[in-house]
Structures are given as structure tokens and as C-alpha cells.
Amino acid sequence: MQGEDGRGFAALAGLSAERLELADQVAAAKLRSGTPVADPARERVVLEEAARKATARGLDPVVARRVFRDQIEASKAVQRGLLQRWRAHPEQRPTGRPDLAGEVRPALDRITTGLIDALTEVAPRRGTPGCRAALTTKAAGQAVQRRFDPLHSRGLSRALASVC
């Protein structure tokens, strides 16, 4: 089985970490625009797209929705944490205003495709006893490699909660 060496878990952890890094840009854009963290309309679009891509790959769309709900909730938690931090420490606020439509969303769409591919690869191992350990190991490696602070590390755990 292709996922036996952990590549699928590594991809899930890496793409989830990359998605969380983009939460920083989303938070910066929302800080500048004053828009709320929650965007139910956009969240529905993301969940529908994940379910559509999952179905096309032969993956259960319910699983995809559950995992992507976790991805969204993790991103929102990171955004809220960053906004709170920036309110308390204005000197730490980002100076730029990222382009959500032109840069961030296309990157998120690419990550969505990759996450569906990785979920498809690990699907046979999702219910096995080693699933959680393999995923946790890969996530911890990503957190160290990317020098995640506690906020982002908690977010990564949240993002991957429904995989196994």
C-alpha cells in the first residue's frame, strides 16, 4: 500500500500546516478590512468543493467535509488568536494587506486539491491503530520545521482531528 511509509500522512500534515500559515494572511486582510473571522458563505463553498473533489476521487464526501470543517475551524482559531494578539500588541500588526481573492484563495484551492489527494491515499489506514500515531508524528515534525508557536501548533492539531 502506498501510504505505508507515511507519505500520505506527511502530505496531510504539511498541507494542513501550509494552510494554517495562510491563516496569518487571512487574519491580516480581515484586520485591515474590519471583516469578521467567520464567513459562512465562503465556508460553504469550501466544504462543497471539498465534497465534490472527494467524490471525483472516490473518497467519501462525508469524510472530506468533516476534515475540511476541522481545517476551517483551525484556521478561524488561528485568525482569532492573531487578531487578539495584534489588538494587545499593535506593534506586532502586519503592515501589508494580502490579496485574498488574487493570492490567498488560489493557494487555498491548490491546498484543497492536495489534501483530498492525501486523504484518498490514507483512506485505507484511517481506522487502523497506527493512524493517530503516524499523523501526530508528521504533524509534530511540521510544527518544529515551520517554527510554529503554541497558537499554530494547537491549530495544526485541530486541523487534523478528524483524519483518523
CA quadruple 102, 108, 110, 113: dihedral, nearest 10: -150
At 31, list the grid cell: 484586520
What's the pLDDT band for 1 if we cut at 50, 70, 90? Answer: very low
Q: pLDDT value at position 5? A: 55
Average pLDDT for residues 46-61, to the nearest whole number? Answer: 97
- Nearest Cα neighbor of 119 from 5, 21, 44, 7 is 7
Cα(98)–Cα(95) distance, integer angstroms = 10
Interior/surface letters 67-94, b for 16+ CB within 10 angstroms, e for the rest: bbbbbbebbbbbbbbbbeebeeeeeeee
Helix and strand numbers, DSSP H then E, in the chain: 6, 0
pLDDT, tens only, 71-96? 999 999 999 999 999 999 999 999 88
Report in angstroms the alpha-carbon separations of 128 from 2, 37, 56, 71, 133.
15, 35, 24, 22, 10
Asked if 15 and 115 count as a contact pair (C-beta separation under 8 A), the reply is yes
Total residue length of the chain: 164
Q: Which amino acid is at 27?
A: A
What's the pLDDT band for 97 if we cut at 50, 70, 90? Answer: confident
